[in-house]
Structure formats: C-alpha cells, structure tokens
Amino acid sequence: MASVSRVSISIVLFLALSSISSFAVADEAPEVPAEHVLTLEASNFDDALAKHPFIVVEFYAPWCGHCKNLAPEYEKAASALSTHDPPVVLAKVDANDDVNKELATKYEVRGFPTLKIFRNGGKSIQDYKGPRDADGIVEYLKKQAGPASAEIKSKEDAASVLDEKKVSIVGIFSEFSGEKFENFIALAEKLRSDYDFGHTLDATLLPRGEATVKLPVVRLFKPFDELFVDFQDFDVDTMVKFIEEASIPTVTLFNKDPSNHPFVMKFFNSPNAKAMLFLNFSSESIESFKSTYHDVAKDLKGKNISFLIGDVEATQGAFQYFGLKESHVPLIIIQTADDQKYLKPNLEPRQIATWLDEFLAGSLKPFKKSEPIPETNDEPVKVVVSDSVDDLVLKSGKNVLLEFYAPWCGHCQKLAPILDEVAVSFANDADVIIAKMDATANDVPNDFTVQGYPTLYFLSASGKLEQYEGDRTKEAIIEFIQKNKDTTGQASSLKEEPTEQETLKDEL
C-alpha cells in the first residue's frame, strides 16, 4: 500500500513543501554504485547498531523516486564521512522487502525515505532532520556526532553556534558543573536533532549579551518576535516545554523562503488549534491584515491556538488540501485537533478579532470539504462524497465496502477494475453497496482512519465497522463480503440491542 500520513493537517506540508515531501515519485536519478553505505537487513541490523556507536540508517523503497534522488548524495556523504573522527557510518535498509517490514514497523517508518540516527547501540534514536544534499548531510552529521552542546569561548565560537535564521539555545553558567549544568546537557542530548546548543561562562560573548545577567540561565535565540528570551527553571521536562513554546513565532510566516519551513513544520505539528490567514502578499491591504492579525495573536496567547499567515502564491497545497478557492481570499480557516474546520472567506481586517472570539465561544458552524454530490450515480461502484457519506454509507442500513483512494495512486488505479467486477457481482443484492471516496478531495469522516491509499473499510448493515486487509482480488473481496454481510432482517434485529454497537463506536 502506498504510504501516506493520516488525512490531517500534516498533509499540507506534503503538498506544499515538495522539497520536504517523502512520498511523491520524482524522476529517476542516475545510479551511483554504493561503496561506503552499508546495506543492512533484519538479520544483521542489531549487530550493526552494537558495532557502530553512531550510525545513520535510511529506510527506503526501491520504487521511491525521492530515495533514488537521495542515493548518490547519501553515497557521497558516506564517502566524505568515512574518515571522520569520531566515525560516522551511513547505512540503508530496504523497508519494502518483506524480511524488513517488521523492522520498519518497529522504528515507525511511515514514508520513504526515512532517516534515523542511532546512538549507543540503539539506546538513543532520533529522526534525521537535516538537508538531503551531500554537503548538507556531512555538515549536519558532523555536528550530530560531536558534543550535544558546544562550549563558547569567543565571539567566533558564538557565531558558529548561533544562526540568525534559526532557533538556538545557550546555557550561561558560572561553572560547568552541578545539577543544573548536567540537566542542560541532558536537554541538549534530547533535542540536539532539532536545535543547536551551546554553553558559556561569559554572557558578553553572545549577541545582545550583558555582564549583569543572573546566572545560571537558558537563553533561547530566535529570528522573530523579541529575538531572545531567558528561562531559569532547569528541570529537563520544563525546559523542553519552554523551548517548544518559545520557538514558535507569535505568527508563523508561510511563504517561499526555505528558512521559514522549519517554523511552518512546527506550526503544523503543534497540538493546538491552528488559525491560518491566507492573503495575496502583493495586495494593498497586506500591512493592515498583518498588523491586526499579529495583535489578535498576542491577545490570544495561551488560549491553545496557533497562528499562521500564508502567501497565496506559496500555499497552493494548503488550498488543495482544504478545498479552497482563490476567490475566497482574503480568508481565514481554523482546524482543530479533532479535524473540525471553520472558514471565513472574503475577510476584512476588522472582522478577524470578532470571528476568532466566535470560534472560541463555540458559536461557529464547522466547514466541510466535499465534492458536489453526483447528479447521477449509476455506475457499479457508487461515488461517495463528504456530503453524502452519511446517507450512502453510515446511515444507509446496507452492507457497504468503501474504498478511500487518491486519483494519482497507482495501486488505486490497479484496484479500480477489480472493484467494478465485485460491484457487478452484487448488482442484484440490494443489501450490498460497493463505493469509493476520493480522500484527497473530501474530508474523511472521523469513523475511519486512512494511513495509505487505497484503504478499504467494510460497514455491515448492523453497524459493525472493520478495515479490509485481505487480498485485493475479486474472489477474496467477494468471499469477505459474503462472510461478513448482514441481511436487512438481521440488521433490524441487531439494532434493537444498541449496547455493543455503541461500545464499538466508542472504541473507534
């Protein structure tokens, strides 16, 4: 099954930031004979972790275009790092091979390529979050292989740690010992794949530094808002929470500047409700919108809602995901943690605060992305959209096999004629419906979890829902339906006893 993330806000990144996407198939790159990249599989994986205290593993699939593009860069990086002290070893695992699928599941590989850094025999595992070109891989991994936090003894040291376009964290101490310093180093180890860390005895070496700062202190530098913020609680979990909150701008900027992409990713990965204002950045009213939106975001800080402002030109993927049109701009859309969406199109600056107050008060009606309900629906496989899923599937009282697909998915295209044959075979059975929904053009109901395309679910007439994971042949699917379907009489009888059905829905 072609792997994709759950139908959620994170798909926006997949659609809009193609340089970060792990799933689209790109043109093949010329193959480079691998010499320095170790080839691992389930049988020798643990031995490799035990042998190499620092090893980077790429989980790939042979058919993946991004994996093919990465291969020569990964090999060049492996060659350059082969003489590094301490050693930096690069390896790869064919996660598409059946013998390695359990390994891929163990390490939560959900897309290709996935790169992970293993330290100390696998006791410490972190996602690789660096560049995908050879020079970038080398530079990133040299830092990862060194100390988690670099000592800053000069302004030159400070310049090497602090990047004005990135978030960096520096601990300022009177001495490099004691529980607080040890906790800071533990923090650096924990978050080293996300941020650059440094520690110093002299605050004046730092930008905007001063000699009178009360020590010890954690100082977070950032390229937005107040530029730096201090923190003096050295509990590791508390520091992690502080960094995660302080490293997100009051308003995240989503444009074509790649230096903003890490902040966009953090925005979408936040558990908060997400308010997204989409504008034409060349419009005359842009400054009025920006100023008003920023003021509202500051006023609502701590209300579990994050704010983003996006340029229409750079956010076409978001428009596709949400089913929006440029004629809606200026617009604001909010998505909650449970995937409810709220939309205000053709917005004016003066309406922003009032509309957000209405959202927080719970007085807005959710917006649902849906294709139009087909005027005719007489093909063997019935077309289901968000606005018709209740009537045709969830409340139909029928036995429904529902496919969630993507138009670009090759596996879905291969399955389509098979489902047509299945539907034809049940043409005379009024209790059975074979249906399909384009999951890229319609919101997927919360009853279903879609982690790849195609995904098949079977809902019996009595309300029993289960994902179909059998063979994708006509015979296997027909046999499954025959075995699991209810007659309408059975369904009526079962619906008189709702306890089990209600329990099932609670579990889902």
Residues 6+ apart with CB under 8 A from 156: none
Spatial separation of the C-alpha atoms in residues 92 and 351, rounded to whole Å: 52
Which of these, 7, 3, 115, lies nearest to 444 by C-alpha position?
7
- Specify the amino acid at residue 83: T
> Which listed residue (67, 138, 203, 415) is catalytic?
67
- Tell me the C-alpha to C-alpha distance, in Å, between residue 107 and each of 41, 98, 327: 13, 15, 43
Q: Is-catalytic flag, 67? A: yes
Active site residue 95: no
Catalytic residue, chosen from 356, 409, 422, 434, is 409
Per the CB < 8 A criterion, the answer to whether 310 and 255 are in contact is yes
Tokens 């990144």, residue? 13
86 preceded by a cis bond (ω within 30 of 0): yes
Amino acid making up residue 50: A
| Residue that has been written with the tokens 């205290």 in this structure | 53
Asked whether 378 and 424 are in contact (CB, 8 A), the reply is no
- In this structure, what token pair is assigned to residue 401? 């096999």
* Residue 458 in tokens: 């079977």
Q: How far apart are CA 88 and CA 138, in angstroms?
A: 9
Amino acid occupying residue 328: H
| Helix pair 352-360, 286-299: axis angle to 10 deg | 30
CB of 484 closer than 8 Å to CB of 478? no
**What is the residue type of 346?**
N
Annotated catalytic residue within 17, 37, 64, 276:
64
Backbone angles phi, psi at 76, to 5 degrees: -60, -40
End-to-end Cα distance, the chain: 22
CA atoms of 182 and 444, how far apart (whole Å): 47
Active site residue 109: no
Contacts of 464 (CB under 8 A, 6+ apart): 484, 501, 504
C-alpha–C-alpha distance, residues 325 and 338, integer Å: 23
Write down the catalytic residue from 412, 422, 423, 437: 412
20 is catalytic: no
Beta strands in 242-395 (DSSP E): 252-254, 273-279, 305-311, 331-335, 341-344, 382-383
Residue showing tokens 């409810």: 340
Active-site residues: which are they? 64, 67, 409, 412
